[in-house]
Amino acid sequence: MANIKEFGSKVWSIICLVSKFIYESILIPIWNFIKKIFKNPKSAVGMSILIVFILIGIFGPLIFPYSAETDVANKYLWPSLEHPFGTDWLGRDVFRQIIAGTGNMLQISFYTAIISVLIGTILGILAGYVGGVVDKIIMSITNIFLSIPSFPVYLLLAAVIVINGSLSFALIISLFSWAGLCRAIRIQVVSLKERDFIQICHVMHMSRTHIIFNELMPNLFSYIAINFVISMRNAIVASVGIMFVGLAAYDPTNWGAIMQAARDKGLVNVQNVIILLYPLINIVIFQASTLLLSNGLDETLNPRLKVM
Amino acid sequence: MENAVENKNNKFIRYLKLIRQHIAQFFVKYRYFFIKIGISVITLALTVILLFFLLRLIPGDIVQEYALKLQGNRGIPYEQAYELAKDLLNYDPNENIFEQFGRYIGGLFRGELGVSYIETGVSANTLIATRLPWTLFISSVALFLSFFIGTAVGCYAANNRGKLVDKISSGYIAISGSIPDYLMALLLVIIFAFQLRLFPNAGNYNAFETTPGFNLPFIGSVLYHAFLPILAYTLVQTGTWILQMRGSAIGVLGEDYILSARARGLSEHTIHKKYVKKNAMLPMITMLGVSFGALFGGATLLESVFNYPGIGLEISNRIISKDYMVVQGLIFFSSAMVICVNLLVELIYPLIDPRVRRAA
C-alpha cells in the first residue's frame, strides 16, 4: 500500500516537472512572442490577416464544401447570394473553389518554410560555428544554389518529377530557397562568435551544444522568424508561377491552377477576367500580409533599427 | 675559372630568387582578384556537376527516341541512326557515369550546349543567338529605368523622412512588393491588351507590316511591342530600388562625415548631392551588377505572359515540350552568365570603393 502511494507520488512529481517544463520553456515564450507580434501595428495587421487565411483554410471547406461537378446550364453566372463570386465556364462555384484552394496554398507555403528554414539554419550554424574547411564547402554549395536561376530549375523538376501533393511541391521549392537564409545565418553566427559572451563560454569550457542551443539560438531567433515568413512569401510566388505555366496541375482548385485555366479560356472574355481576378487579389492580400508581418517582426525583434 | 662558373651560378640563383619574389609579390598584391577568380571557377565547376546530375533525372531513353526519329526522317538503318543520335546528343546511356561526364564536359568546352531532339537544326546555341537580344533589350531597359527612378526617389525620401514623399514612396513599396512581377504583367495585359486593345498581347514586332532592319517602322513596332513588358518590369522593380536606396541613404546620414560637413556650414543641398547620394550609391552599384547578371536567364513567367520571344519563354516552352537537352544548355548558360557578371562586379568594385581592397 505504501509502495503504491510512493509510486503515485513519484509519477505525480514527474508529471508536475514535465508540465512545468512545457509551461515555462514552450508556452510562455510562445505567449510572449504572440504578445510582441500584436504590439507592433504592422505585424498585428499582417498576423491577423494570416490567421483569417488559416481559419478559412481549416474550417472553410467544412462550411462551404466544394464539388467538382459541372453544371453547364449555369455557366458564367454573375455574383449572387447563392454564388458570391459567380460561376466559371463549367458552372462551378468560384467562391468555393477559392476556399478549397486556400488550404493547399497554405500547406505549400508552410511546408516550404519549415523545410528551408531547417536546412538553412542547420547548415548556416554549422558553417559559421565550425568554420575552416566545412565553412568553405558549405558556402560553395550555397553559392551554386544562389547562382543557378531557380525558376527554370523548378519548372524542369516539376516536369521531370511528378508532383502529387503539397509536400512534394514544397520539397522542390525548398531545394533553392534555403540558400539565402543559410548565408544570412552564417554571417550572423560569424559575427556573434567574436562577441564577448561566446568567448567567455569558450573560456569556461562550456559544451558546444550549450553554446549553440542556449547562447546562439536565442540571438538568431529573430532572423529565423523573419526568414520563415519571407520563405512563405517566396513559396507562394514560386508555386503559383509553376502552376501558372501549366505544370504540376494536380489540384484544380489551387489558385495558380484557377488563374491558368481562366487564362487558357481567353482573356478577351470579361467573365474569365473576373474569375482570374479573385485568386489574384487573394494572392496579393496574402503577400501583403506576410510583407507586413515580416517588416513588423523586423522592427520589434531587431532593436538596432529602433535606434535609427 | 671555377670561381667564375660559381659566380655565374650564384648570379643565376639570385636572379631566380628575384623572379620568384616578384611573382610572389604579384600574387600577394592582387590576391583579392585571384581568390575571387578561384572561387568563381570552383562555383562554375560545381554548377556543371549539379546540372549534369539534373540531366540524368530525365525519364526514358532519349537517345533511342531520337534515333527512331532520325531513322524515319533520313531513311538510314537503326544502328547508324543510333550512332548518329549519340553523337548529336553527345550522350551515351550505355557508358558509365564518369565517361558520360567526360563527354558532357567535352561538349561544353567545344561550345555545344545541347541539341534539340524535337526540332532539327535547333540547338541551345542558336536559341541563345536569336532570343537573347530580345530578353536583354526589355530587361536591361527596365532595369536601368527602375534603377535611376528608384535611387533618385529613394535618396529624396531618405532626405525628407516622415514627409509626404516618404509616406507615398513607402506605400508604393508595400504595394509593389505584394504583387509578383508576373501578376503585375498579367494585370497590364488584361487591361491594356485584351480589354482596351491599346497594345499588342504577343510577339516582339509586327512581322507582316515591317521588315527587320534599321528602319523607322521596324523600330517603332519593336518599341510598341516592348512597352508593356518594360512597364511591368519597371513598376515592380522600382519599389525594391527605392527601399534599398532609402535604407542605404539613411545609413549614410548617420555617419560622422555628414555631421562634420554640417558643422562646416555646407548647405543641405550640397550635402545631399555630394555626400549622401555618392556614398549611398556604392552598394547600389553592386546590386545593379548582380541584378544585371540575373537578366541573362530571362524572366520566364513575365515573358510567357506577354508571349515575348526571349530566353525565358523559350525555357518554359521547351520544358513543356520535353526538350530537356536544350533546357539544360540554356540553364547552364544563364547560371554561367550570373557567375561571370558577379565576378566582374566583385573585381570592379575595389576600383570604385578602395575600402574593400584593404579589408580583403
> Is the pLDDT reported for residue A308 higher than 50?
no
Of A160, A246, A284, the CB nearest to B178: A284
Question: Which of A264-278, B57-71, B197-211, B230-244 reaches the highest mean pLDDT?
Answer: B230-244
Phi then psi for residue B299, to 5 deg, are: -90, 100
**Is the Cβ pair B250, A149 closer than 8 Å?**
no
**Is the Cβ pair A143, B174 closer than 8 Å?**
no
**Is the Cβ pair A149, B297 closer than 8 Å?**
yes
* pLDDT-above-70 percentage for chain B: 97
Chain B positions touching A263 (Cβ under 8 A) are: 186
> Is the pLDDT reported for residue A77 higher than 80?
no
Helix (H) / strand (E) containing B157: helix B124-159
pLDDT digits (tens, 9 = 90+) for B158-179: 888 888 888 898 889 888 888 8
**Is the Cβ pair B182, A241 closer than 8 Å?**
yes
Q: Which residue is closest to B342 within chain A, CA to CA?
A: A147
Please indicate if any CB of chain B lies within 8 Å of the CB of A122: no
Of A149, A244, A308, the CB nearest to B338: A149
Tell me the shortest Cα–Cα distance from B29 to chain A, in angstroms.
Answer: 23
* Confidence band for B81, pLDDT divided at 50, 70 and 90: confident
Of A149, A160, A284, the CB nearest to B179: A284
> Is the pLDDT reported for residue A217 higher than 60?
yes
A157 and A71 in a common domain: yes
Q: How many whole angstroms from its chain centre is CA B251?
A: 28
> Is the pLDDT reported for residue A307 higher than 60?
no
A21 and A116 in a common domain: no
Chain B positions touching A284 (Cβ under 8 A) are: 178-179, 183
User: Residue B118: helix, strand or coil by DSSP?
Assistant: coil
The pLDDT, as a whole number, for residue B143 is 92
> Is the pLDDT reported for residue A249 higher than 70?
no
**Is the Cβ pair A247, B334 closer than 8 Å?**
no
Look up residue A12 and give its three cell numbers: 505525480
> Is the pLDDT reported for residue B89 higher than 80?
no
Please indicate if any CB of chain B lies within 8 Å of the CB of A287: yes
Of B58, B189, B254, the CB nearest to A308: B254
Which residues, 6+ apart, have CB-to-CB distance to B94 below 8 Å?
none
Chain B positions touching A267 (Cβ under 8 A) are: 189-190, 194
A5 and A78 in a common domain: no
A196 and A108 in a common domain: yes
Tell me the shortest Cα–Cα distance from B11 to chain A, in angstroms.
Answer: 42
pLDDT digits (tens, 9 = 90+) for B8-67: 778 888 888 888 888 888 888 777 788 888 888 888 888 888 888 877 777 767 777 777
Look up residue B172 and give its three cell numbers: 508604393
Q: Which residue is closest to B174 within chain A, CA to CA?
A: A288
A45 and A33 in a common domain: no
A230 and A83 in a common domain: yes
Residue type, A22: I
* Confidence band for B267, pLDDT divided at 50, 70 and 90: confident
* Confidence band for B358, pLDDT divided at 50, 70 and 90: low
pTM above 0.80, yes or no: yes
Q: Is the dihedral of CA A260, A265, A267, A273 positive or negative?
A: negative
A126 and A92 in a common domain: yes
Tell me the shortest Cα–Cα distance from B56 to chain A, in angstroms.
Answer: 10
The pLDDT, as a whole number, for residue B360 is 46
Average pLDDT of the segment spanning B70-82: 77
Nearest 5 degrees, angle CA A119-CA A124-CA A127?
Answer: 125
- Evaluate whether A106 touches A93 at the Cβ level (below 8 Å): no
Chain B positions touching A246 (Cβ under 8 A) are: 320
The pLDDT, as a whole number, for residue B302 is 86
A137 and A67 in a common domain: yes
Please indicate if any CB of chain B lies within 8 Å of the CB of A274: no
> Is the pLDDT reported for residue A305 higher than 60?
no
A159 and A219 in a common domain: yes
Helix and strand tally (H, E) in chain B? 16, 0
The pLDDT, as a whole number, for residue A219 is 81
**Is the Cβ pair B47, A147 closer than 8 Å?**
yes
Please indicate if any CB of chain B lies within 8 Å of the CB of A149: yes
Question: CA dist B82 to A194, B71, B118, Å?
Answer: 61, 8, 16
Higher pLDDT, B189 or A92: B189
* Confidence band for A90, pLDDT divided at 50, 70 and 90: confident
- Evaluate whether B165 touches B155 at the Cβ level (below 8 Å): no
Residue that has been written with the C-alpha cell 498579367 in this structure = B186
* Residues B262, A143: Cα–Cα separation, whole Å: 42
A179 and A135 in a common domain: yes
* Residues B265, B273: Cα–Cα separation, whole Å: 15
The pLDDT, as a whole number, for residue B357 is 58
Please indicate if any CB of chain B lies within 8 Å of the CB of A247: yes
A151 and A270 in a common domain: yes
A165 and A24 in a common domain: no
* pLDDT-above-90 percentage for chain A: 10
Global ipTM: 0.81
**Is the Cβ pair B187, A237 closer than 8 Å?**
no
Chain A positions touching B290 (Cβ under 8 A) are: none
Average pLDDT of the segment spanning B142-160: 90
**Is the Cβ pair B174, A292 closer than 8 Å?**
yes
The pLDDT, as a whole number, for residue B147 is 93
Mean pLDDT (chain A, rounded): 83
Of A237, A270, A273, the CB nearest to B180: A237
Which residues, 6+ apart, have CB-to-CB distance to B174 below 8 Å?
A288, A291, A292
* pLDDT-above-90 percentage for chain B: 6
Among candidates A262, A304, A302, A278, which has minimal Cα distance to A43? A302
Give the structural domain span for A7. 1-39
Tell me the shortest Cα–Cα distance from B338 to chain A, in angstroms.
Answer: 6
Q: Quote the number of domains for chain A.
A: 2
Residue A144 is part of a domain; what is its CATH number? 1.10.3720.10
Chain B positions touching A42 (Cβ under 8 A) are: none
